[in-house]
Structure 1
Amino acid sequence: MSRRIFVSFLGIGGKDGYTPAIYKSWRKDGCDSKKETRFVQKAIVELYPKTDLDKIVIFVTKESREKNEKALLEDLKELGVEPEKIEMEEISADVSNLSLTWKWFESLQSKFNNGDSLVLDVTHGFRMVPVVFSAAVAYLKRVKNVHLESVLYGAFEISGHPIVELKDFYTISDWTEGVGRLVDTADASFLRKTAEKESNGSFAGLNNKELLDSIEDLTSAFRNVELQNIESKARNSLDLIEKFKKQSGGDLERQVLQMIVDKFQPLVSEPPLDGSYSLDYLKLQLRLIKMFAEYNLYMQAFTAMNEWLGSLGVFLMKRGNKYRFTSRERETSARRYAAVFLNMLQHPDDFKAKSEDDVNLKASLDEAYKTLFEKYTTLAEIKELLDQSKKIRNGFNHGWTGVHRKGAPKDLKEKFNNAMTILEKIVEKIGDDNG
């Protein structure tokens, strides 16, 4: 069973110890501590209340223990806290010995089991304690799946003595990691997990099901090489993100959303694609293929290259006017032509027709095939590209991608760049023709 554990630090205070104060709650529920106390720990335990805290861990030094431990324990006893719930953990105040400082880290993480919740009071975190314990909190969240519920600071020096919630500053790393994974690996799962766990605070606006669903829909289409769907899904997602940017109440949230826009904007065509196998469609697909390589998704990149060559045949045959990937019926027809055209490129001397229908489709594509090699590229270039693509895709399929394995494809990046040069040259020459 998971527990809620309150962790705090007990300092020395001034010459006469800590000055009594009535602390105001960090929650906006109008409930403040009922009477003065010298210890912010007592106010926090009272406001939780104590029955919601399964364990209280107070880190002390030898000096703070001698000066304040007895009084603090008496105050907690006054609230009705059972003594067995309280654990005083002594740590060294010698910050010159790094091995002793590491023991702070080890001591904190040893108090938690997987899935516990942490309520952290940093009011009297002295010297290097805030730095070390911030790192420890990050460790607990990742390794032990500890939920950081609150990070509290008793602002005695401010009028009214408010207890301030600082958790947002500890969860910024989660939000940046979530967005970082999204833009670096096209994985939206950590962003969704963070949004669902951290439903309040500066980034609360990101916890929107419609927004998260659209982002996941986009990344799913990307990773699954849904070439015909990616532009519309990217447009829908980015339009929604722009809408949320305008509604957002904070600069940080807008910056996070802009990072997503900047990364996936290349997948949106301007003007929007009309669903035809057009030159704009071919250009967009090349941008998508480049993005696969940026994510080191080379198998997807070379798979998309093969698909692109098939689409090129449809474009050259009818200039893309008749066949549309937005129409199920026309898309099916177009994909049959694309498959046959790719077959023609793969087998220039021994075309392998699977049916009589393929023979007829080939006849319709002969002019496109002739145009490709007369005006835009050479048979040798396409043959080299397809041979490399086959080897690399087979390598991924059979786990031969490690350079240490015999027969493994090597220099993936170089081979990809060489292939992209061929495809980009084709598009450039077609563009010159359309002038």
Structure 2
Amino acid sequence: MEFFKPDKVIVLVTEEAEKSEDFTNLQEELGALLEKVSIPSGKSEKELWDIFDCLADRVQSSDEVILDVTHAFRSLPLFSFGVAVYLRRVYDDISVSRIVYGAYEARKENRSPVFDLTPLLDLMDWTSGCEFFLRRSDAEILAQRLRESQSRFWRKKNDVSAEAFPRRLNTVAQKLRILSGALHLGRLREVMGTAHDILPLLKEVAYEAEHYAKPFRRILDEIKREVEDLAYENPDVLDKKNLERQLKMIEYCYKKGLVVQAVTTAREWMVNWLLLKKGEMNWLNRDIREKVEEELNCEAKLFISNKTGPKYADIWDRLRVLRNDVAHCGMNENPSRIDRILMNAEEIIAELKELLKEIKN
């Protein structure tokens, strides 16, 4: 009460706690501020979910919640923490700003410290951010945590010398967001260039991450390994190394569940592959690309008619069908099943690896 000045104090009480002298005293002290909510004691899974409903139902849109677990008992502090994580992650307009615990056992001269347990809540946000990026290449939450880690210390600049404050977390956050966006939009060249820019930043930011963003420091090496496979310093120069990196991105997208991106970029990869085979360096010219696409289409038609011809013609035809089905959202009379799409995409990626071997260094 003294620290936070709440508009309302919701007290969850069991039948036993409601009969206690402590609760009577609390009612007298808080008066109209106090709202009593009766809960079971949490002895079964059903009772725990009843407590979940009691907590979640009392929180309204735009509320700022401060959770005090000082007098919670048994597993309720941990369960309450789980509800706080749920509210924070699911509802954008609800803020769980603090989790506090009054440590009576740590008192000195009849004054008990109040421990701020909010960093545990922040850790859950870090967990979500790291998981989203490593599983789906979605950097939004991770970038938000990095930005917040940097700005939090800069807000304290009047208290401590700014010399020691983090300066690179924001930069890394922005680059990861760009990389994530490029992957999700299938921007082959931007992925390679951005990944190349990120690698030295990951090395430079290691010290700051160790001191100001420890959860990020734990996954730095894994991020570096993934980014290394996508990075290329000359993304606008078509050579075998460029094709290798493009194919790494296609495989990367497929493994992350970005199947649409993997399939659509695979089609462009085949155009790039034939352009490089022909020695055509003006590979980004639209007219030149259309001519090569038409050549691939003609080869595919001949392969279908005669069942003979270069292997890449068959790959192109199957990729064309797969890409059209995916890009047009299955809007045809005989759309492929999801499992068939995944299997076909995996098979084609393996065949593209064989085509790459035909390119001389």
Question: TM-score normalised to the size of structure 1?
Answer: 0.68
The answer to whether residue 27 in structure 2 is matched with residue 73 in structure 1 is yes
Alpha-carbon shift at residue 284 of structure 1 (Å): 0.8
Q: What does 1:385-396 correspond to in 2, within 5 Å? A: 385-396=315-326
Residues 310, 339 of structure 1: 8 Å contact kept = no
Amino acid at match of 1:135: G
2:193–2:235 Cα contact (<8 Å) kept: no
What count of residue pairs does the alignment treat as equivalent?
336
Partner residue, 2:185: 224
User: Is 2:162 the partner of 1:162?
Assistant: no
Q: 1:247 to 1:101 in 2, by over 3 A?
A: closer
Q: Does 1:406 align with 2:353?
A: no
1:85 aligns with 2:15: no
1:36-95 CA deviation, whole Å, 9 max, x = no partner?
xxxxxxxxx1122x2xx111112223333322122223444xxxxxx32211223233x4
Is the 2:179–2:190 contact (alpha carbons within 8 Å) kept by the matching residues of 1? no
Alpha-carbon distance in structure 2 between the residues aligned to 1:314 and 1:296: 29
The answer to which of 306-315 and 169-178 deviates more is 306-315
Deviation at residue 268 of structure 1 after TM alignment: 1.6
Distance in 2 between residues matched to 1:317 and 1:106, nearest whole Å: 66
Is the contact between residue 192 and residue 235 of structure 2 (CA under 8 Å) also seen in structure 1? no
Mapped contact 1:122–1:130 kept (Cα < 8 A): yes
Structure 1 residues 163-222: Cα deviation after superposition (integer angstroms, max 9, x where no partner): 111111123222111221122222223334555677649xx9699543222111111212
Amino acid at match of 1:379: G
RMSD of the alignment, in Å? 3.1
1:96-175 mapped onto 2 (5 Å cutoff)? 96-145=43-92, 146-158=94-106, 160=108, 161-175=112-126
Q: Identity over the aligned pairs, expressed in percent?
A: 21
Asked whether the 8 Å contact 2:136–2:258 carries over to 1, the reply is no
Question: Secondary structure at the residue paired with 1:46?
Answer: coil
SS of structure 2 residue aligned to 1:58 = strand
Given the alignment of the two structures, is residue 46 of structure 1 paired with residue 26 of structure 2, yes or no? no
Query: Unaligned 5+ residue runs, structure 2?
Result: 154-164, 303-307
Deviation at 1:99, TM superposition (A): 2.9
The residue that corresponds to 1:427 in the other structure is: 356
Contact 2:99 2:118 in 1 (8 A): yes
SS at match of 2:105: coil
Cα distance in 2 for residues equivalent to 1:222 and 1:99: 43
Aligned to 1:255: 218
SS of equivalent residue, structure 1 residue 153:
strand
The aligned amino acid for 1:385 is I
1:281 positional shift: 0.8
Residue 140 of structure 2 is matched in structure 1 by 189
Which of 127, 131, 138 is 1:180 aligned to?
Answer: 131
The residue aligned with 2:172 is: 211
By how many angstroms is 1:97 displaced?
A: 4.0
Cα offset, 1:294, TM superposition: 1.2
Structure number having the greater helix percentage: 2
Residues 143 and 278 of structure 1, relative CA distance in 2, 3 Å threshold: closer
Separation in structure 1 between the aligned mates of residue 45 and residue 34 of structure 2, nearest angstrom: 28
Answer yes or no: is the 8 Å Cα contact 2:182–2:191 preserved in 1.
Answer: yes
Describe the SS at the equivalent of 2:54: helix
Rg comparison, structure with higher value: 1
Match of 1:242 among 203, 210, 225: 203
Instruction: Report if aligned partners of 2:99, 2:116 keep a CA contact under 8 Å in 1.
Output: yes
C-alpha distance in structure 2 between counterparts of 1:229 and 1:273, whole Å:
11
Q: Which whole-Å CA distance do the structure 2 matches of 1:61 and 1:131 have between them?
A: 17
Q: Which amino acid aligns with 2:348?
A: A
Matched residue, 2:161: none
